[in-house]
Chain A
Amino acid sequence: MALQRREKSSPEIPTGSMADIVFLLLVFFLVTTTMNQDKGIGMHLPPAGESKKIQKKNICNVWVNIDGEILINLEQSVPLNLLRADIEQRLAQNEKLIVSLKADEETPYEKFIDVLDEIKLSGADKISLASPSE
């Protein structure tokens, strides 16, 4: 009886396809990676119930109505593209100036953000957000 010799199996782990697997994983991560970070306009709200008396001359009231029209101190209507320069001028005259932004109940959020963005761009760091009912 002729006994056949068993074939010896190689003890090595085949690594030939390793690069392919890694490439596949790499492509997956390349496709799914989103580099978008959370970003936006940062604000610090005052604690509830806190109210400070501020001199009238140190306040600049900015109103935004439902159509996005801007009114400063109830007297002067300003287009959005000129708002930054206007606030900058007022800040140059008074360093303690607080910009109080007040929007109408039904003002779209986009209009409010446009105005807030311009105020922030003007360099004003003291911004107050008044509620529509006030």
Chain B
Amino acid sequence: MNFKKKGGVSHSIPTGSMADITFLLLIFFMVSTVFVRYRVTGIIMPKAEKIEELKKRRHINYLWVSADRKIYIDDKLANLDQVAGIFYDRRVKDPRMVVSLKCDYRAPYGLISRVMEELREADALRINFATNREG
């Protein structure tokens, strides 16, 4: 009797398309990566549940209020009376501007309220109280 040899199964994993897959992943990450533009250290934001995400990053302007009552616009230190002027100019350039208020959880509400008054003066009416997601 003539026994046939079983066909050998190849043990190697095909790696020919590995580079293509990696390229695809690389392109995905390159497109979706957003680098943090401004960062003010030492500011811990409060947490909230009913939050919404801001979509168009190019319309977002940042205003930071630290626990020691300092105001930063983007990441530069500013006085309260400068806020209206700076944001008025930005509002003229970009009517769809949104101001993201990144305030420390210990910052006094009185100062934040005065900042909001300045923003009203500058006609920058769309604001967002930046918070982290609860839980």
- Residues of A whose CB lies within 8 Å of any CB of B are 18-19, 22-23, 25-26, 29-30, 32-35, 37-48, 64, 103-114, 116-117, 120-121, 129, 131-132
- A83 to chain B: closest CB distance in Å? 13
Cβ contact of B103, chosen from A43, A46, A104, A109, cutoff 8 A: A109
A49 to B116, CA, bound (A): 13
Q: Are A22 and B36 touching (Cβ within 8 A)?
A: no
Residue of A nearest to B33 (CB): A33
A131 to B48, CA, bound (A): 21
Q: Are B116 and A132 touching (Cβ within 8 A)?
A: no
7 further contact pairs, Cβ within 8 A, besides A42-B52, A43-B128: A22-B19, A26-B26, A45-B120, A45-B124, A103-B109, A112-B112, A113-B47
Q: Are A116 and B129 touching (Cβ within 8 A)?
A: yes
**Does B94 make an interface contact (CB < 8 A)?**
no
- A8 to chain B: closest CB distance in Å? 28
- A41 to chain B: closest CB distance in Å? 4
- Known contacts A39-B51, A109-B105; is A33 also within 8 Å of B32 by CB? yes
Query: DSSP class of B's interface residues: helix, strand, loop or mixed?
Result: mixed
Q: Are A29 and B50 touching (Cβ within 8 A)?
A: no
A106 to B109, CA, bound (A): 6
Q: Which of B22, B48, B105, B124 has the most CB of A within 10 A?
A: B48
Chain B contacts of A117 at CB under 8 A?
A: 48-50, 131
A46 to B119, CA, bound (A): 10
A52 to B100, CA, bound (A): 26
A12 to B100, CA, bound (A): 53
- Known contacts A22-B23, A26-B25, A32-B33; is A45 also within 8 Å of B54 by CB? no
Q: Are A129 and B113 touching (Cβ within 8 A)?
A: yes
Q: Are B32 and A38 touching (Cβ within 8 A)?
A: no
**Does B97 make an interface contact (CB < 8 A)?**
no
**Does B85 make an interface contact (CB < 8 A)?**
no
- A119 to chain B: closest CB distance in Å? 9
Instruction: Tell me the chain B residues, 21-42 only, with Cβ under 8 Å from chain A.
Output: 22-23, 25-26, 29-30, 32-36
Q: Are A38 and B104 touching (Cβ within 8 A)?
A: no
Sample 12 A-B pairs with CB under 8 A, ordered by A number: A26-B29, A33-B32, A33-B33, A40-B101, A40-B129, A45-B116, A47-B120, A48-B117, A64-B109, A103-B113, A105-B108, A114-B46
